[in-house]
């Protein structure tokens, strides 16, 4: 193809001025042949490529936004138009062994404040009332009698926790107050009557020993493993099964949505999503038996007073010896569970009662010397070690002398030779003093720790496992620096002799003793005591399983211990036979009278003797002899369990 070439430049001399006195003007031109040159087409083509590429990128980006990331950006836009509000979720219910409701959730009226209309937040997020808002709060203060400073504090706390959630300023308004505010909504535009979920207790003042209380999660709890999923401001279980099963019962926060405008102001109603039905916790507690056990404690304390004593408290545990399921657990003095949950002033007063200590669950956290109820434990230790057999005969006398110390028997005139089952039946102290000395002298270097080893295996001296928060470890004394530091003198043979009948520094809770007796009854299985029985989801019950702590190889002669405790409750001369004479269910049990004065009354037992269904352990503080207060209490409990009347 022929290519034109521009003509060579020529020099022309032009006049300085054109005719008519017009000056010369600059003039620029491009040679026409250039527009058909290769350079021209290269430049135009490059520009076209750039334009097409830019348009393609814009189209691809639009496609990406609309198709690939459409939902993501829609959610982001929705988030900008809505704010998340954390509301307390509905907490799971708690029922008893027969599925009777013990704890539920119900709506409770409160008075909410609209923080946005009463004030605003500063740059640091702290809420301040406007002048008009301050006047509104003062009006509400005069109406309710609540100090304005308290209303301000509640508002600020609520805004700090959740800026867009309704701020509860009056927690427990009277019916008259809620009606007044509702009827005069135009006069109180910043306040309205709302509904808040609270725990309700259909059984009333019931279950304070195991149900537990709720409270706002604390800073230490937020750092603990037990509340690893907790959030600030969340209400969690603080005691009892409410704490032990908080992860199951607690629905956490429900994330509601509230529309806001471009300035972050509330622009519509709160939108609460539907909630799933939380699971229900079923307990092993039998409500009827629990109430009967509570009444039995009052009866036992009354019997103690009739015998001339001054009891200060009592407790009882009713446990399935095969599974560890607790059927009833009572403590006295106690408190009103419903009032403690609903009335903060009542709860604060409970914490101030340091003399009667109603908040102390004596059944699991009370620790006492066991008295003679410890004798089956030392008997099992001696039998398992081969130191005695059921037919070993030891003296039962009015006293036993060890060095310069004289240990006395309850009956000073007794003088007989007895085997194990008779010594248990009659609860001869000097027989067991001699057994304690025998254990110590068998291996002096061990200092009698054969007894502590067996007691520890049976569950004494450490916190019982399971779901009962707050259970005590008790104290199992023995040789070593801990004992010497605590009491200022070393462990001696006399300490072992004293321990043989459950006296001295020994401290045991009724729950610990119930677990130990369960192992002696069931063949050596040390159970986990628990009150949680099953989880109910959508009407389907899922049973909870608790593996035994350990299984002991008891002596083949443990039957002699069981026989001795049967004779104690059924044969003439037995320590609790006067209480259970003629009782239609055969009970086996051991009385205990713990010193120093004033003595505590114990009874540890099971029934029926040949096929045990329950172990019952009772303690009456300063209640006298075991047969005076604790054994009659246990009898009342057995009457309720076996549905006996007038026995």
Q: Are 330 and 290 in contact (CB under 8 A)?
A: yes
pLDDT of the residue at 262: 59
Extents of the domains making up the chain? 108-200, 287-641
Superfamily of domain 287-641: DD-peptidase/beta-lactamase superfamily (3.40.710.10)
pLDDT of the residue at 533: 96
pLDDT at 389 over 90: yes
pLDDT band at 451 (very low <50, low <70, confident <90, very high): very high
Mean pLDDT of 438-465: 95
Q: What is the overall mean pLDDT for the chain?
A: 87
Mean pLDDT of 410-432: 94
Q: Which range, of 228-242, 349-363, 593-607, averages the lowest pLDDT? A: 228-242
Please, what's the b/e burial string for 411-421 (b: 16 or more CB within 10 A of its CB; e: otherwise)? eeebeeebbbb
Q: For 568, list phi and psi in degrees, rounded to 5.
A: -60, -30
10 Å CB burial of residue 41 (0-12, 13-18, 19+) is exposed
Please give the C-alpha separations between residue 480 and each of 370, 426, 438, in angstroms, as whole numbers. Answer: 22, 34, 21
Mean pLDDT of 569-596: 94
Q: Taking the CB of residue 360, how many other CB atoms lie within 10 A of it? A: 18
The DSSP string of 97-113 is TT--EEEEEEEEEEEEE
Q: Which range, of 339-353, 398-412, 508-522, averages the lowest pLDDT? A: 339-353
pLDDT band at 625 (very low <50, low <70, confident <90, very high): very high
Output the CA angle 121-126-131, nearest 5 degrees: 55
pLDDT band at 308 (very low <50, low <70, confident <90, very high): very high
pLDDT band at 283 (very low <50, low <70, confident <90, very high): very high
More confident residue, 65 or 190: 190
Cis peptide, bond prior to residue 596, ω within 30 of zero: yes
More confident residue, 396 or 121: 396
pLDDT of the residue at 447: 93
pLDDT band at 118 (very low <50, low <70, confident <90, very high): confident
pLDDT at 454 over 90: yes
pLDDT of the residue at 12: 58
pLDDT band at 372 (very low <50, low <70, confident <90, very high): very high
CA distance 632 to 239: 31
pLDDT at 36 over 70: no
**Could you report the per-residue pLDDT of 143-197, keeping only the tens digit for each?**
888 898 888 888 888 777 777 777 888 888 888 888 888 888 888 888 888 887 7
Nearest to 149 by CA among 122, 140, 132: 140
Percentage of the chain exceeding pLDDT 70: 87
State in words which class domain 108-200 has: alpha beta
More confident residue, 72 or 168: 168
pLDDT at 604 over 80: yes
Q: Are 456 and 520 in contact (CB under 8 A)?
A: no
**Could you report the per-residue pLDDT of 462-498, keeping only the tens digit for each?**
999 889 888 999 999 999 999 999 999 999 999 999 9
pLDDT at 133 over 90: no
In which residue are the tokens 């062994």 written? 97
Q: Which range, of 205-214, 227-236, 343-352, 537-546, averages the lowest pLDDT? A: 227-236
Output the CA angle 635-328-353, nearest 5 degrees: 100
pLDDT band at 80 (very low <50, low <70, confident <90, very high): low
pLDDT at 18 over 60: no
Mean pLDDT of 441-453: 95
pLDDT at 277 over 90: no
More confident residue, 89 or 522: 522
Mean pLDDT of 48-73: 77
Residues contacting residue 487 through CB under 8 Å, at least 6 positions apart: 505
């Amino acid at each position: 193809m022929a290519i034109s070439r521009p003509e060579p430049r020529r020099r022309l001399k032009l006049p300085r001025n054109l005719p008519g006195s017009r000056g010369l003007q600059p003039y620029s031109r491009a040679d026409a042949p250039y527009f058909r040159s290769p350079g021209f087409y290269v430049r135009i083509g490059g520009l076209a490529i750039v334009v097409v590429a830019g348009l393609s990128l814009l189209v691809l980006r639009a496609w990406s936004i609309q198709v690939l990331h459409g939902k993501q950006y829609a959610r982001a836009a929705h988030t900008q138009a809505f704010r998340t509000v954390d509301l307390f979720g509905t907490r799971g219910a708690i029922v008893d062994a027969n599925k009777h409701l013990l704890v539920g959730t119900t709506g409770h009226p409160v008075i909410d404040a609209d923080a946005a209309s009463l004030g605003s937040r500063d740059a640091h997020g702290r809420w301040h009332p406007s002048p008009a808002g301050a006047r509104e709060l003062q009006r509400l203060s005069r109406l309710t009698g609540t100090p304005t400073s308290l209303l301000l504090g509640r508002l600020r706390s609520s805004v700090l926790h959740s800026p867009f959630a309704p701020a509860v300023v009056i927690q427990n308004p009277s019916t008259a107050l809620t009606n007044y505010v509702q009827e005069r909504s135009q006069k109180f535009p910043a306040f309205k009557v709302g509904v808040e979920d609270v725990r309700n207790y259909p059984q009333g003042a019931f279950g304070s020993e195991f149900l537990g209380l709720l409270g706002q999660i604390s800073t230490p709890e937020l750092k603990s493993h037990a509340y690893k999923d907790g959030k600030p401001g969340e209400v969690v279980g603080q005691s009892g099964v409410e704490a032990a099963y908080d992860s199951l019962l607690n629905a956490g926060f429900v994330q509601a949505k509230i529309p806001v405008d471009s300035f972050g102001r509330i622009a519509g109603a709160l939108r609460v999503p539907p909630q799933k039905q939380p699971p229900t916790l079923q307990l092993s507690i039998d409500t009827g038996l629990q109430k009967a056990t509570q009444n039995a404690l009052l009866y036992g304390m009354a019997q103690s007073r009739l015998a001339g004593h001054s009891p200060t408290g009592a407790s009882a545990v009713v446990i399935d010896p095969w599974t560890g399921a607790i059927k009833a657990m009572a403590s006295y003095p106690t408190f009103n569970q419903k009032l403690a949950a609903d009335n903060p002033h009542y709860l604060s007063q409970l914490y101030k009662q340091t003399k009667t200590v109603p908040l102390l669950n004596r059944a699991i956290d009370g620790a006492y010397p066991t008295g003679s109820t410890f004798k089956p434990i030392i008997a099992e230790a001696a039998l398992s070690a081969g130191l005695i057999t059921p037919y070993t005969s030891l003296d039962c006398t009015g006293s036993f002398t060890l060095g310069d110390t004289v240990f006395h028997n309850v009956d000073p005139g007794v003088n007989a030779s007895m085997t194990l089952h008779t010594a248990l039946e009659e609860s001869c102290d000097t027989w067991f003093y001699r057994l304690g000395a025998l254990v110590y002298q068998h291996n002096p270097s061990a200092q009698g720790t054969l007894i502590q080893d067996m007691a520890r295996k049976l569950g004494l001296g450490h916190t019982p496992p399971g779901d009962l928060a707050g259970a005590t470890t008790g104290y199992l004394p023995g040789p070593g620096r801990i004992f010497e530091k605590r009491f200022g003198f070393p462990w001696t043979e006399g300490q072992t002799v004293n321990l043989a009948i459950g006296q001295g520094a020994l401290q045991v809770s009724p729950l610990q003793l119930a677990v130990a007796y369960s192992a002696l009854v069931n063949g050596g299985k040390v159970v986990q005591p628990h009150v949680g029985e099953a989880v109910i989801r959508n009407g389907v019950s899922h049973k909870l399983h608790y593996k035994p702590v350990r299984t002991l190889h008891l002596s083949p002669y443990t039957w002699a211990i069981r026989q001795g405790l049967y004779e104690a409750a059924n044969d003439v001369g037995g320590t609790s036979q006067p209480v259970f004479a003629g009782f239609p269910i055969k009970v086996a049990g051991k009385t205990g009278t713990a010193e120093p004065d004033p003595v505590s009354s114990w009874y540890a037992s099971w029934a029926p003797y040949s096929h045990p269904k329950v172990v019952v352990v009772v303690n009456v503080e300063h209640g006298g002899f075991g047969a005076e207060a604790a054994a009659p209490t246990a009898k009342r409990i057995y009457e309720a369990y076996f549905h006996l009347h007038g026995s």
